[in-house]
Amino acid sequence: MFWTDPYDPPPGECVQCWAHAYDKSIHAQLAPDEDCADCLDHLDFDCPEEMIVY
Ligand SMILES: [Zn+2]
Ligand SMILES: [Zn+2]
């Protein structure tokens, strides 16, 4: 089974990281050399518990 709906992440996944990974339009708004602050935040501090799907 494949989970490719950006807004329907499988259990155990972070809703934000999932959306950013599969909804290309989110990162398309960034400059080519610009980092995504939301993604960096989760990379540096881990995904908030409340954003993980159960
Ligand atoms: Zn992102
Ligand atoms: Zn995350």
Buried/exposed code over 6-20 (b: 16+ C-beta within 10 A; e: otherwise): beebeeebbbbbbbb
Ligand 1 centroid distance, CA of 8 (Å): 16
Distance of CA 14 to the CA centre of its chain: 7
Ligand 2 centroid distance, CA of 45 (Å): 9
Residue 4's pLDDT band (cuts 50, 70, 90): confident
Question: What's the pLDDT score for residue 20?
Answer: 97
Q: Which residues surround ligand 1, an ion (CB under 5 A)?
A: 20, 36, 38-39
Q: What percent of the chain has pLDDT over 70?
A: 94
**Token output for 39:** 């993604």
Closest ligand to the CA of 27: 1
pTM over 0.85: yes
Closest ligand to the CA of 41: 2
CA–CA–CA angle 9, 28, 20 (5° rounding): 20
Q: Does the structure show a pLDDT above 80 at 34?
A: yes
